[in-house]
Amino acid sequence: MMTTHERFTRMYEHREADRIPIFDSPWSETIDRWCAEGMPTRDYVSYFNLDKVATISVDNSPRYEEKVLEETDEYRIYTTSWGATQKSWKKHGSTPEFLDFKIKDAEK
């Protein structure tokens, strides 16, 4: 069995490995459900033998103003640094709903 480092190194070198690298980031509700269905730990990475990966994020957005436009107990509508207007639910994980965009065509 290879380590995560060995597996990724071989992948980037276009060489065979024991398997392809696997990593994931499930929503918290998904992990809750797995635990309710019998998974004995919240450490899904170890439980499913996924590769251990760290990430680094950089802000390469156009840095539009971020602001909350509407907020209720259920959701929040806000603008992002990318110029998108989105709606996110508070009580469950999901992909935000895109409502509008500051840049709508090539001219903008």
What's the pLDDT score for residue 64?
97
Report how far apart, in Å, the C-alpha atoms of 51 and of each of 17, 32, 58, 69 are. 13, 21, 22, 39
pLDDT(83) > 90: yes
What's the pLDDT score for residue 97?
97
Amino acid identity at 11: M
Q: Rg of the chain over CA atoms, in angstroms?
A: 20
pLDDT(93) > 90: no
What's the pLDDT score for residue 9?
97
CA count, 13 A, side-chain hemisphere, 87: 9
Note the pLDDT tens digit of each residue in 33-46: 999 999 999 999 99
Confidence of residue 47 (pLDDT cuts 50, 70, 90): very high
Mean pLDDT of the chain: 95
What's the pLDDT score for residue 7?
97
